[in-house]
Every structure is written in C-alpha cells, then in structure tokens.
Chains A and B, each alone.
Chain A
Amino acid sequence: MNIPDRLGRINRRMKRGFDFFVLGGYIFSILYAAAILIPLYFVIISAFKNNNQIILTPLALPTALNFSKFIEAQANVHLIHAGLISVGITSGAEVLTLLLAFPAAYAVARIQTRLASLVESIFSLGFLIPGLAILMPIYVMTAKAGLLYHPIALVILYPAFSLPLAMILLAGFMRKLPRELEESAVMDGGNVLQIIFYIFVPICLPGILTVLILNFINIWNEYLFALILMDSDNRTIQLALALLRANQRAVDFGLIAAGVLISMIPVYIVFIFFQDRIMSGMLAGAIKE
C-alpha cells in the first residue's frame, strides 16, 4: 500500500466519524457516569428533604430548601465543633509534614551521597505498610505516651503517614531544577538551611502546593486512626458523620445526608480548583510505590 492510499484510509476513518469502539466507549462511560452521579445527587437532595419525601420520591428535587436536617445534625453530633477539630488537626499535620519532608527531600534530591537511595527506599516502604497492621501498636504507643483522646496524637501521627508521598513529590520536583541553583549560593557562603529556605522553598511552591492538597484530602478524610485514638470530645468530622447513624435507632437518612454534605464540601472545593494537580500527584504516588 502506498502512502497516499494509507492516508486516504486514515482520513476515511476519521471522516466517517463512526466507530463501534468509540460508540461503545461513550455508552459505557455515560452509564458509569450516571452510576456515579445518581447516588451523589441522591445524597445532596436528601439533605434538604424530610424522611417521607426521601422514601416516596427519592430522586425528586426538594420542593423547598429545608435546612432543618443541618440544624438537627449540628445539635446531635456538634458538626461545627468536629469540623474545627478536623481543621486544627489537618493544619497542624500539614505544617509538620512540610517541616519534616522539605529538608529531607532536598537532601535526597540535591546532595550526592550513596545514602540517598537507601533513605528513599526506606520511605517507599511506607506504601507497603497497611494502616490496619499498625493500628493496634499505635494505639498502645499513644496510650503509653498519655496522648489517647488528644488531637495532638493525630497531629503527630498523620505526618508519618504523609511523609512517603510528600518526599516523592518534593524530591521529584527538586530533581528537575538546575544544578547551578545552589552552587552560586555556596560560592556566596550561604549555609544549607539558607539555601533551602531562601532558594528552594520559593521555587518549589508548586510542588509544596500539590503536597498540601493531597495531604489535606487524605487527612481530612481519615477515619480509622481517628476512630481509635479520639473520643467524643475530640471527634473529627468523619467520626461525627459516622455517629449520625449510630446515634439513631432507625436510620434518619436526611440527617446523615446533611452530615455527608457538610463533611465533603471542603474536599470538593479543593477538587474543583486543583483536580489536575490531584490526579498527577496521585499518579506519581502510585508509580513510585
């Protein structure tokens, strides 16, 4: 087959614009998208309806914007208080993660020593350690340290879980930067902490942002360790949400839906603005396992 012939074939294929594979792809994608959207839609509208409406007309839009379930959820499990606890824990853990990960990532990425690859592989072990396996030992450690039921325990703990991903993302970012960056600073007599703080932190802001966003999602959404280590006075937003069910004799789904909605709003706001960053960050984490 000569080249014009081939091109003609491709052109025909393109022009025809019809392909069973593409059609099947669209059909399946749309079905799956619907399967994703319907439960989400169901939860969102249920938060504004009473229980009769939820059962009798599950997918109908609410007739009026009724916020009583939100007020009730707040009264039942103190959602606002739980939200503030979560904000506090998340912020503390974010700051601590960066303080620990940034210098370490700089060292791994920019200082030439054989130790670097060893340290890197130690951190990548983190992806293989299941949370469930260390749940009980961590509970014992926390109890021994006298930090059980104290939010500080989670502020200390979460950065350890975040470090492997934070290291990979930050070190990956720093490796792409030119060598000359610190050489000139070394000539000027700057020490390594100055180099990190004045040169690398400003340049790495995009990488820092990705780390902050992924950590925020993971920490805000964390359930298992919070369940074990916190009590009713210090419950995080996820614990409060789960409690909306446990506190009821019969399932009051409107109430639960209001809680789900409140708990997911911050993460979805971040998702809307930074979805490309989130996807590429999670991919980098998966690849470097």
Chain B
Amino acid sequence: MAISGSAVQIEKKALTNTEYGRRNARKRRVTFLFLVAPALVWFLSFMLWPLLNMFYISTTSWNELNLPKKFIFLDNFIRIFHDPKVAIGLHNTGIYLVAGILGIIPLAFMLGFFLSLRKPGYRILRTLFFSPSMLSVAALAMIFLGVYRPDGMLNSFLNAIGLSALTRIWLGDPSTALGALIAIDIWGGVGFNSVLFFAALASFPEELYEAAMLDGAGYWTILWKIAFPLMIDFIGLITILQFLGILSGAAYMILLTQGGPGTATFTLGYYLYDQAFLSHRLGYSQALGVVIFFVGIVVILLIRRVTARLSN
C-alpha cells in the first residue's frame, strides 16, 4: 500500500513537471530575455555597435569630431593600396607577428610540458613564469625603458661581461628598436602561455604517459609523439590569441617609440592610432581598422584549417 502510494506521488510529480514545462515554454523564453537583455544591450552597444561604426566611418572622409563627415565610399581603401606607409606598417607588423609567435609558442609549449611533469619545484616555476602577466602594458613599457635606455640595465650588463661592443641605444637604433619591442612580448608571453599549456596538459590522464614510458619512450618522444598531436587544436587556439594580440597592438609604440626611430617600429596598429588621434584623419584610420580586422579573420580561418588538417 505504501509502495503504490509513493508511486502515485511520483507519477503526479512527473505530470506536474511536464505540464510545467509545456505551459511555460513561452514564459521561459520571456524570463530568459528579461534576464539576458541588460547584458546583451550593454555588449551590443559598446562592442558590436562600435565595430559596425568602424565600418561606417571607414567609408567617410572625416577630419574633426565637430566637422561633418563626407561619404566617399571606398576611396579610403583605394588610398590604402597606394599608401607607402601601409606597406611599411605591413612589413613591420609581419616581422612582429612572425618573430613574436615563433619566439613564444614553441618555447611556451615545451616549458608547459616540462611543468606538467610535476618535477620538484614546478609550482614555484609556474608562479614565476606567470608573474609578468600581472603587469600592465604601461608598467612593462616603463620597466623595459630602464632596461633598454643608453645607460640602462642591458648595456651595463654587456659592459660588465666585456661585451661593450654590443652595447647600443636599443630603442633609438633602427636596427634594434623593433626587436627590442618584440622581446618585451616574448619575455612575458612565453611564461603566460607556458602556464596555459601546463593547465591544458595537466588535464590529460596520467596513464597516457605511463603507457609510453612502459614501452621505454623518453620524455622527448612523449612530448612530440603524444602530447603534441593531442594539443594541436589548443596550440592553434593559443597561436590565434597571440596573433590577434600582436596584430592589434599599439601600446608599446605609443608608450616608447612613436613608431620610430624613422619607421623602424611603425606597425599597422600604430598607424591606426596615429591617424585617429594624432593626425586627425578619422575616416582613414577606420579603413585601416577594417583592414586589420579582416587580416585577423583570414588568419584565424587559416590557422583553424591548418590545425584541423594536422589533427586528422
């Protein structure tokens, strides 16, 4: 008796549940929108709307905030093709991207693998590797100003070990300025990404490595034969994030070199900033923004395709 009673109760409950579900499908959607609306409106207003505005402004000639815009359709983009500064910016951005990504990703991956072996001391190393990521771009720029300036840390170090011939004005010399800025990114980026790789590798079951070790494989083999193939998608993802960061970066140029000396550190991102806020060519700056945006999309798709093919 007691048993059938509870069975009835369960049945009743199930019935009310489905009824609740059916009757409230519409109500649920209303509740959903009510809860999501504020965040969605905020996000659309201050992220997507400005992005659409970038496309719109890129089709105008606009020199002062208070002056009217003139619609010129694709003229800005035609100008981009003939602008020698775009070619310079593209060149420097290209070097920055290649050197930055090659300098960061392979090292970060190997260090992340090493950390994931959890050898003694890996926790303190992980903390140290991650610590530069806590610095702001302004702080990073100021720290490396002290490292690179003529009587700064790097030159005194070179003098102290008898390599005075190598000393130079790192940020003032056209042959080293871009490299010096890339080195700041590598300095912090290797550590940050190694910790991300560590965390991703740490999610693998330990038996994965153990089985290989039973077969006598060393760590080097495990790194390239087991960890690397499993991580290809994640490596692609990290590469994309790193790529986007560098592609749309302008902070070190704004803070340290203003694109100089000459055009040594003049990147596309800095050109955008320069046109928008220093040269008052608002329309043109946004046309550069559109170009940067599409370069980003194309490369994301490219990296996705490469990693998809590799992991198959």
Residues of A within 8 A of B (CB): 6-7, 9-10, 13, 19, 21-22, 25-26, 28-29, 32-33, 35-40, 42-43, 46, 54-55, 58-59, 99-101, 103-104, 106-108, 111-113, 115-116, 119, 122-123, 125-126, 128-141, 143, 156-157, 159-161, 163-164, 167, 186, 192, 196, 217, 220-224, 227-228, 238-239, 241-242, 244-245, 251, 253, 256-257, 259-260, 263-264, 267-268, 271, 275, 278-280, 282-283, 286-287, 289
Contact = CB atoms under 8 A, between A and B. Distances in A.
B251 A221 contact: no
Contacts, number: 292
B218 interface: yes
B284 to A, nearest CB: 11
A185 B72 CA distance: 59
B33 interface: yes
B265 interface: no
B35 interface: yes
Nearest to B270: A132
Nearest to A253: B146
B139 A263 contact: yes
Interface stretch (B2-10, B36-44, B77-85): B36-44
Contacts of B145: 245, 251, 253, 256
Contact of B138 (A133, A139, A242): A242
Given A136-B57, A137-B54, A220-B136, A107 B43 contact: no
A269 to B, nearest CB: 10
B271 to A, nearest CB: 11
Contacts of B111: 25, 28-29, 32
Interface stretch (B95-103, B174-182, B239-247): B239-247
24 contacts: A6-B214, A21-B219, A21-B220, A21-B223, A22-B117, A25-B119, A28-B110, A46-B146, A107-B31, A107-B32, A122-B40, A129-B48, A132-B250, A133-B51, A133-B248, A136-B54, A136-B272, A141-B50, A160-B46, A221-B134, A256-B146, A260-B142, A267-B134, A279-B126
Contacts of B218: 19, 21
Contacts of B300: 128
Nearest to B222: A21
Contacts of B254: 224, 227
B146 A223 contact: no
| 6 tightest A-B CB contacts, nearest first | A130-B248, A160-B46, A221-B136, A25-B114, A104-B39, A137-B50
